[in-house]
Structure 1
Amino acid sequence: MVLFLLGIIVILLIANLIQYRVKKTIERDMEYITAKLNEIVDQHSSENVLVVTDYTALKSLLIAINRLLGNWQHTFVQYTKKERSIKKMLANVSHDLKTPLTVVLGYIEMMQRDEMLSDKERSRMLAKIHHKVIEIIKLMNTFFDLAKLEAGDKRIPLTPVSMNEVCKRNMLQFYDLIQEKGLEAIVDIDDESLFTLGNEEVFDRVLHNLLSNAIRYGSDGGVIGLHLSKDEQQIFLKVWDQGQGIEEKDQARVFERLFTLDEARNKSFQGSGLGLTITKRLVEEMGGSITLESVPYEKTIFTITFNKQ
């Protein structure tokens, strides 16, 4: 009987000793986890918390912690990236607003100072002021439109649209500017009437942006083009130029919000970096897609794809 009791006491002592060691091990691991988490957060590190353990509960806790860390690190990277982009955008927008506002202010001050201005000269200055104010309004509307698209507040009514007519109309609108720049325009539009589900006003805006970019950034190539074709199920609209082009490293970013073509093509131009972002959103709102291919000084092609009606 005495030996039995002694055996029980020994077992209890061993059990208590094991529990104590387990407790101390877990406490040590928890202290390490706490310290490591604080270090990762303070230093914005991309590390994970690694602990060698046989305890299932602790393993599950570590998996959960590292998943949270992964999400936090991804969010932090995105936040940092967006913060940099917003600063860049504000600088670009400030430039875009400052330039026409400076011109407006200059003309107003000139009109105030010079009481001897002729009616003709005054009318010319007022026309310049009007033009610059329209520029400012267009820039602000661009920001509002993107905000509406991102919030899902801008609904686009869709009806069958003749892509042949849209392409012809938009090329004609740029005819004078193309001639003024001394560019060759190559237009290749399929003879068959091609219809897709879309919105004429939105298509005009998309094509206006792509054609104006081709003229603005690709004029050093001497030629721009528009190509409309089809296969059995889809319609393909290509706007291209043979200018400076876009480096491969930048091609994946051209549709990003706030990325400007100035960074990738012509440094002499400045922009807010929203044109192609809005173009992509508008195309997608109509159920289409837009892609880019570019080989500098050979060909830069923006391709819009839609389903045939």
Structure 2
Amino acid sequence: MKVKIVGIQTKFFISFIFSLIASFCIFTAVYSTYISFASQKHPYKFQNYNYSLGRLSGISSDVSLNTSGVNFNNNSKYKSVLSKYEAKYSEYKLGFIVTDPQNKILYNSSKLTGNTSLEKTYSDFLEYFNHTTNLTMYHDYIYKIPIKTGNDISILWITASPVNTPHDSIGTLVGDKNILILLFICMLIFFIITHHRMKYINEICCGIKTIANENLNFKIREKGHDELSEICKNINLMADKIKEKIENERKIEASKNMLITNVAHDIRSPLTSIIGFLQIVENNEYKSKEEMQRFINISLKKAETMKKLTDNLFMFTKLNGGDLKLHLSTVCLNELIYQLIDEFSITFENSKLNIVDNICAENIMVTIDINLFVRALNNLMYNALKYSTKPSDVNVSLTQCDKNAVISISNKCNNLNIENVSMLFEKFYRADKSRTNPDEGSGLGLSITKSIIERHNGKIWGNYEEGIITFTILLPD
């Protein structure tokens, strides 16, 4: 199941939006609670009439506009208009007073009390309203509108009682200081929310430093399903790949050292013999010409052993270095194996070995490099010739399984342990005592065979059971 990855950018964006909303809610709640409690102790300090007076100013402008065409000589008509405003804005105790040019009151619905004249009250209000920035003290609202009554100019007075609204406007809540507090709360919440991600980033950085200090066994903890977890996963994978590469390089270096050691060992022994025999011949220390000829023949045989070793080593290097190009052709595998059996039959008979073949009747066609593949089969046959218990049978079979050609060569042998079967394809590995005798083989035969089969996309393995070693080749046709 594929896990959906939520991007870290999206997570940080969501965290930021959440921080803004949460900080605003927290600040509003704290601020409102503070105002509620503090205003009970210091009522004047927390009074605010800005909003009410601003709204009453707008109402007055609206009344002025809507009464400009009203006939104030018709009492019932203008009273009807004014009563609608009184009902609509009752929370401000809105009232109206109409006075004639002699200041005689023609209509009065005002809730104002006191003996102060309307003009004096109006003058005091204008002084308060126009010269006070923060309206925290209560003052009766009064506004006058000139109206025409016949040929005279009368006055329509609007009176009201402003309502204290200490924190009902955004302007009150969002002041310069409050914005700083709001931003601080927002940053604090954002820091708390993103702290675990930043801590995880620091953990990743420490992990990278640890891996960079060649501690390739260290694994960074994978957490979540975002880009950070993907980074951790890839870093751990990279560390594993580097570790694997280093281990392979060490194995290659160890293998190279072993190769040099084994080649030096396998060349030194026959070379020492050759030098010894040739010195005898050179110094005329042989007893007869027959003995001299025997020394020469031995030296020649040793030289041929060295040549075979170098040829095998050259072939092994080319196969494993990838420099060898296959010359492929399609052949009948049945005929190829029959030909192989014919070539070895006399040699096997002379060694008291009997080849028993079991070749399927159906022709199996394969695409191979004939020379290389024959060399691989020859190595297996020579291996059977050298290490078979004599006298005994050597079984060669060819079958087809799931569109694959299966070749098996088995023989009896008593110098092998089941634990050593997996080592047979290692270069320079020789079973049992022949390790000290280069004339018995270079130890590269089965390694070369394995490399050839694998270059043909095939597989080869060995199985030892009840004293019989069986080599099986699986080759796609």
Task: Tell me the TM-score range normalised by the shorter chain.
Answer: 0.7 to 0.9
Does residue 1:46 correspond to 2:46, yes or no? no
Does residue 1:299 correspond to 2:468, yes or no? yes
Cα offsets for 1:83-115 (capped at 9, x unmatched): 333333333222222222122122122223335
Structure with the greater alpha carbon radius of gyration: 2
Structure 2 match to 1:210: 380
Does residue 1:247 correspond to 2:418, yes or no? yes
Amino acid at match of 1:74: E
Amino acid at match of 2:179: I
* Superposition pairs of residues 213-292 of structure 1, within 5 angstroms: 213-219=383-389, 222-230=392-400, 235-244=405-414, 247=418, 250-251=421-422, 254-255=424-425, 258-259=426-427, 261-262=429-430, 266-270=431-435, 274-285=444-455, 287=456, 289-292=458-461
**Change beyond 3 A, Cα 1:246–1:85:** farther
Does residue 1:80 correspond to 2:250, yes or no? yes
TM-score by length of 1: 0.75
The Cα shift of 1:17 comes to: 4.6
Cα offsets for 1:123-173 (capped at 9, x unmatched): 332222222222222222223223333344323333454545543443454
Amino acid at match of 2:463: S
1:226 match: secondary structure? strand
The Cα shift of 1:118 comes to: 3.9
**Change beyond 3 A, Cα 1:301–1:108:** same
Cα offsets for 1:218-268 (capped at 9, x unmatched): 4379442222345795543321113255637854x654xx45553xxx222
The Cα shift of 1:202 comes to: 2.7
Q: How far apart, in 1, do the equivalents of 2:475 and 2:216 lie?
A: 44
Structure 2 match to 1:140: 310
Amino acid at match of 2:303: V
Kindly indicate whether the alpha-carbon contact (under 8 Å) linking 1:163 and 1:196 is maintained by their aligned counterparts in 2: yes
Between Structure 1 and Structure 2, how many residues are aligned?
300
Amino acid at match of 2:274: V
Amino acid at match of 1:9: L
**Change beyond 3 A, Cα 1:30–1:98:** farther
Q: How far apart, in 2, do the equivalents of 1:135 and 1:127 lie?
A: 12
Structure 2 match to 1:112: 282
Q: How far apart, in 1, do the equivalents of 2:293 and 2:195 lie?
A: 88
Higher relative contact order (CA 8 A, sep 6+): 1
Kindly indicate whether the alpha-carbon contact (under 8 Å) linking 1:228 and 1:237 is maintained by their aligned counterparts in 2: yes
**Change beyond 3 A, Cα 1:227–1:56:** closer
**Change beyond 3 A, Cα 1:168–1:115:** same
**Change beyond 3 A, Cα 1:85–1:114:** same
**Change beyond 3 A, Cα 1:57–1:302:** closer
Q: How far apart, in 1, do the equivalents of 2:363 and 2:448 lie?
A: 27
The Cα shift of 1:277 comes to: 3.2
Does residue 1:62 correspond to 2:227, yes or no? no
Identity in percent: 22
Task: Give the gaps of 5 or more residues in structure 1.
Answer: none
Amino acid at match of 1:50: R
Does residue 1:11 correspond to 2:182, yes or no? yes
1:219 match: secondary structure? coil
**Change beyond 3 A, Cα 1:36–1:186:** same
Q: How far apart, in 1, do the equivalents of 2:460 and 2:324 lie?
A: 23
Does residue 1:121 correspond to 2:291, yes or no? yes
Q: How far apart, in 2, do the equivalents of 1:105 and 1:116 lie?
A: 14
Q: How far apart, in 2, do the equivalents of 1:305 and 1:58 lie?
A: 45
Of 187-196 and 290-299, the range deviating more from structure 2: 187-196
The Cα shift of 1:26 comes to: 7.3
Structure 2 match to 1:95: 265
Kindly indicate whether the alpha-carbon contact (under 8 Å) linking 1:164 and 1:194 is maintained by their aligned counterparts in 2: yes
Q: Which has the higher helix share?
A: 1
Q: RMSD in angstroms over aligned alpha carbons?
A: 3.9
1:241 match: secondary structure? strand
Kindly indicate whether the alpha-carbon contact (under 8 Å) linking 2:286 and 2:292 is maintained by their aligned counterparts in 1: no
Task: Give the gaps of 5 or more residues in structure 2.
Answer: 1-170, 436-440
**Change beyond 3 A, Cα 1:298–1:48:** same
Amino acid at match of 1:154: L
